Chain A
């Protein structure tokens, strides 16, 4: 399986992380998204309906994984805000995951993906990564392409979408087109229907400077920070999960991988020799939290109340913890209000036919009848 390093990872080696992030942030500012200080609904992205429909079917189709046992939607479940409800994700059969599955709602607005931000190019590359990565879908894309060509529904859909015959290249275009349809809508925050508690919580949010990291319409600065979220011991005590992290580390070139017992986070991207980037993770969006518990890159916090209590005591402990993390002295009532505010940032579930492929997808393939006379 071919894997290319994203451009930004190599950039990170040359520029310092600040500069690299500046590039990303400016990209976000001036191209697709609203400025960081602007708070309002996330803007819907225009999509090509036929390409997006094709991407939708692919997203729910198990046959695009190596052994045809899981689809993107096995981990990114619509009812759970396109996350999976587990602390640590599942993985391709034979392994178990070592990170929390993030929501995909609004992911098309981002400029760097994954909890460590290691991919800073585009969703086409992220899709390829998910398809081919040995612990995600372990798909040889040449087989994937031939599978799509065997399904008359796909043959027609690719044609209608203007892609010609099914190819792995167009699969990697169609899925991102579908992901662009996953935009938050209908949150009380956007509709002006917040409860009083939520309104009070909004004030707490500003006073306590949560917005210094959770900024913009998506409530994320798209930067990595060290908030010292505690380690999740389940990764290291379970060989099924730990071996997956080792495989990841071998691929990413993490030094001393067999002796590491923590997720190094953004270090895989910036490789700082002094290790000050170890333990940084990307600021996640705060939209759709109602559906996406448990929280943090390793799912160690089960409820929003727990998250808020964590911030109240100034985060966890780590030598490289961000200086922005300090005890906040919130009262119990303030904390409850803050939770109400966070909940008001969640919108309507994206579980209708617009976002979910509702028709049955066959597990098998019909034979091409006049095979000898039909060009391959």
Chain B
């Protein structure tokens, strides 16, 4: 419970910083200390129950919750791929490709805002936007609702869990959110170490922790129990190469600009992902992305919003060089500077990053209940 409280404080701090960043260049210099991870916050209006979680699990794996019934959440959040997608840029809905890297759902329960640019406010709100988006699930509410009604097992479960006479699609998203809140990992070597088991981390990792908190100053942004301040920064991550030579990717790129409502002028000229800007429409937010948690990253390669880096070593080298450049480099954060880490220091830092992941969370696809005709109506 103490760690859970620490978590709450982290969020409080983070919000404070948000106000400061939006109003001026002043940065809060108190970083939430690294800590073991407690249980995730559970919203009062969507309590966890075993039945709800089980229903959410089925729905997470069910392709019928997409437009052409071919992709499930699990298609892009594959258990075997760290609950993300293997490629740099995620696959899309059939006939499309996505434009960002698929994030892991592991530990997503701790974020205040979801997605690389923080555009969803809760897991309950994130799920429908994933299911509906034209390059993700492309599902319309009516057809989704109708399909659920024709799966007797779901009718029964929605009734038991939510009291629905006929399954309501909004409750599907709530059940999925409940399932996602069980996809957490709080027993990594790092967590064990912080709880007193000093043998849980190798010597290298312990040295890496020191570098993380000291010389490399990763803790400036990757802080608290989640290893994320939940703020938005431009690190100068270079643009996705695929836009240069992939027709489908070029289509999605333009679609996203159109869908996110940028000005006509910007639509014509932009050649990179403006990230947080799409939410705030503030010029100096272009190219900023949410600091991701560093937990479970052992399994979630490739890294960054566009999957530019294929292993953690590459990421650390990127930081060591002081980040990179992109179309919006004017907004690149001052917090990223060349670090002058030696090769040994890099190795230690990577060892520490690896200690933030425990065992792989495995799960096989559940057997999904079939469609059946509706029983004759009661007169």
Residues of A within 8 A of B (CB): 1, 63, 65-69, 92-95, 134-135, 138, 140, 142-143, 145-147, 149-150, 236-240, 242-244, 246-248, 250-251, 258-261, 364-368, 371-372, 375-376
Contact = CB atoms under 8 A, between A and B. Distances in A.
B142 to A, nearest CB: 4
List 9 A-B pairs, minimum CB-CB distance, nearest first: A365-B247, A94-B69, A68-B95, A140-B134, A259-B377, A134-B140, A67-B94, A246-B146, A239-B371
Contact of B373 (A68, A95, A236): A236
7 contacts: A92-B68, A93-B69, A94-B143, A95-B69, A149-B254, A150-B251, A237-B373
A27 B150 CA distance: 43
Contacts of A95: 69, 143
Contacts of A65: 95
B250 A142 contact: no
A365 B257 contact: no
B145 A367 contact: no
Nearest to A65: B95
A223 B103 CA distance: 54
Given A247-B143, A250-B145, A367 B246 contact: yes
Interface residues of B, number: 50
Given A244-B143, A250-B146, A258-B149, A138 B138 contact: yes
Contact of B250 (A69, A150, A240, A251): A150
A375 to B, nearest CB: 5
B372 interface: yes
Contact of B267 (A236, A240, A376): A376
Contact of B138 (A140, A150, A366, A368): A140
Interface of B: 64, 66-70, 93-96, 134-135, 138-140, 142-143, 145-147, 149-150, 166, 243-248, 250-255, 257-259, 267-271, 371-374, 376-378
B150 A365 contact: no
Which of A65, A69, A149, A246 is packed against the most chain B CB atoms within 10 Å? Answer: A246
Contacts of B70: 67, 93-94
A66 B67 contact: yes
A142 B134 CA distance: 9
Nearest to B269: A375
Contact of B372 (A142, A239, A261, A375): A239
A64 to B, nearest CB: 10
Contact of B142 (A134, A147, A239): A134
Nearest to B67: A138
A66 B166 contact: no
A168 B246 CA distance: 22
B379 to A, nearest CB: 9
Contacts of B96: 143
Contact of B254 (A67, A138, A146, A236): A146
Contacts of A135: 143
A239 B150 contact: yes
Contact of A376 (B244, B254, B371): B254
A260 B146 CA distance: 13
B258 A94 contact: no
A352 to B, nearest CB: 30
Contact of B244 (A94, A140, A364, A372): A372
A225 B253 CA distance: 49
B142 A250 contact: yes
B257 A376 contact: yes
A67 B92 CA distance: 10
Given A95-B143, A250-B145, A143 B255 contact: yes
Given A67-B93, A69-B95, A247 B68 contact: no
B13 to A, nearest CB: 39
Q: Which has the most chain A C-beta neighbours within 10 Å: B64, B67, B166?
A: B67
A251 B147 CA distance: 14
A367 B134 contact: no
Contact of A243 (B143, B248, B376): B143
B134 A66 contact: yes
B268 to A, nearest CB: 5
Given A239-B150, A375-B269, A138 B95 contact: no
A89 to B, nearest CB: 16
A225 B135 CA distance: 42
Nearest to B267: A376
A265 B271 CA distance: 49
B247 A251 contact: no
Contacts of A364: 247-248
Contact of A1 (B68, B95, B140): B140
A93 B68 contact: yes
A67 B70 CA distance: 10
B255 A142 contact: yes
Nearest to B258: A142
A142 to B, nearest CB: 5
